[in-house]
Structure 1
């Protein structure tokens, strides 16, 4: 295989570079700080975003760029139209490919247990030397889970919640009785059934991408529909939740807690009211950062690099020309 230059846009998620270096021998893989990328640019055939907005200005700074490949599914941070105008392909790795969905679903289960068992509070009790055996937590057994977004992650999560004895509901773009039966859900409603799902959800799981339709979908009105003491678990995108409304709901005591792996602005400001609340479990966008998930994603990215060199159509390319046109551009 010819030498490939891969630039990881940003210095977050260092395991991305490590996996590419290990699994793509002979390639030059460089992590480029965002500030340097915007001011001085770099030379690379493939650009992998790592918590960096890829807009027209960044694209123009990368000499020889042919492919922007998301390390995962979400492309809300990539200006696909700008890339297309410049003849640059854009591809992603869907959540159901390579083990990412399973890893994120595991995080959701862990997070729901931790929030309901009040893990952040328990850690403070242990460090303070206070009396043991308090505070009591809440069990998942017998409660209702509502999953908003039933793509790869939502489906993997549904299968993992049922053994805990939870009643599981779901909402996606359209009702799907067949999928509900296959996953063992009580029901799967369309978008119009979201208010009903919220009213019944002791644990609300958000597993959907950020689009104009989903931006701040969970706002003050939506949060008010949740039962008293409910928890919110967000492993989708931070912009799906109105964070200010979430803080108000927590401060009022109506919500039992929140588990957040994603935020409206990332990295999260350490001074954010969400950073140190005892009723919030906050993690730094690591729900899908596992050994199995990263190996699976790396295999798909590397497969597309091979396809790029061979002039073959890419897998999961969101702006691909027909195969002949793509091959012509690559020749």
Structure 2
């Protein structure tokens, strides 16, 4: 069985080598360039961030499975795959350890922004003690936009900081809100209220027609002056020009970004002149999450090889 991985050999923290070690009888070919051109000769595709369109699927001559290495399938034309009898599966964040790792990164960004981490090197260089004066997290409000695996993992951890957590998701469930200790839970129509109340807003949504640019100029204007925006979902959730303007004006005190409009981002981008904590899409790149993802991916590849039902089939 041949599997095409849309990534370079050294990508994703050594995950590709772990796939080979787990399934030594499977041939893994790592090539982002190949994955964007032709799927001919492959039984399965691990698309990562590659766009899997209908024209690309037309090049497949024996493809039976598109197996995402994480949860996000917004770049895959699932309907076109289904029409060709190709299963489309993912590894849900809440079973792989990915959600836990992303939640930890989001909290690290919150702490860094609150304690003005960008100013610390200069304080040390100037031998100034007791500065900068930061913000404590206790008693602050966090607005969780999206309450899937990552949002739930965040809610669980933020309770230990004695923060007030509020959230919006597609549907309201009082029991869900109680279980995850949310002060209130609303639908996406209540996003303006969440933005107005939050000291920190954390995005953990997929990028689709309903969520693309959900944070635009009007949304940013509704945010509490001096608040912080953190995005561990997808870059397309935020309108870049509006974010830059909000940082310029001081409407936002800072931002934490693990995802970008263009990946990898340009290191000379004017965005990085602002109070921004940026990481190169590493929210889910930890020993725990990679181990969980490898286990999930390999289980479905084994099932494909052995003719068993695919898990987490989204097609």
Is TM-score (shorter-chain normalized) higher than 0.5? yes
- Can you list the C-alpha shifts for 1:257-305, whole angstroms capped at 9, x where unaligned? 100011122221223222x234101111110111111111111111111
Aligned residue number for residue 68 of structure 1? 66
Q: 1:293 aligned to 289, 293, 297, which one? A: 289
Aligned residue number for residue 192 of structure 2? 195
CA apart distance, 1:205 = 0.7
So what's the TM-score if we normalise by structure 2? 0.93
Q: 1:60 to 1:121 in 2, by over 3 A?
A: farther
Backbone CA RMSD of aligned residues: 1.9
Q: 1:15 to 1:59 in 2, by over 3 A?
A: farther
Aligned residue number for residue 176 of structure 1? 173
Contact 2:53 2:76 in 1 (8 A): yes
Measure, in 2, the Cα distance between the counterparts of 1:107 and 1:303.
Answer: 27
Contact 2:36 2:50 in 1 (8 A): no
- Can you list the C-alpha shifts for 1:94-121, whole angstroms capped at 9, x where unaligned? 1211111111111111111111112123
Contact 2:258 2:280 in 1 (8 A): yes
Q: 1:1-331 counterparts in 2 under 5 A?
A: 4-11=1-8, 12-13=11-12, 15-34=14-33, 36-39=34-37, 43-126=41-124, 129=126, 131-274=128-271, 276-319=272-315
User: What is the aligned residue count?
Assistant: 313
Contact 1:17 1:30 in 2 (8 A): no
Measure, in 2, the Cα distance between the counterparts of 1:266 and 1:42.
Answer: 26
Which blocks of at least 5 consecutive residues in structure 2 are unaligned?
A: none
CA apart distance, 1:25 = 2.2
Q: Which moved more, 1:278-287 or 1:40-49?
A: 40-49
| Runs of 4+, deviation exceeding 6 Å | none
Measure, in 1, the Cα distance between the counterparts of 2:182 and 2:174.
Answer: 9
Aligned residue number for residue 324 of structure 1? none
Q: Which moved more, 1:244-253 or 1:47-56?
A: 47-56
- Can you list the C-alpha shifts for 1:106-152, whole angstroms capped at 9, x where unaligned? 111111111111212323554x5464443222111111011011111
Measure, in 2, the Cα distance between the counterparts of 1:92 and 1:144.
Answer: 32
- Can you list the C-alpha shifts for 1:21-60, whole angstroms capped at 9, x where unaligned? 12222222221132x4445666321111233222234334
Contact 1:120 1:278 in 2 (8 A): no
SS of the residue 1:97 aligns to: helix
SS of the residue 1:96 aligns to: helix
Measure, in 1, the Cα distance between the counterparts of 2:44 and 2:80.
Answer: 16
CA apart distance, 1:19 = 2.1
Q: Which moved more, 1:7-16 or 1:136-145?
A: 7-16
Contact 2:37 2:56 in 1 (8 A): no
CA apart distance, 1:224 = 1.1
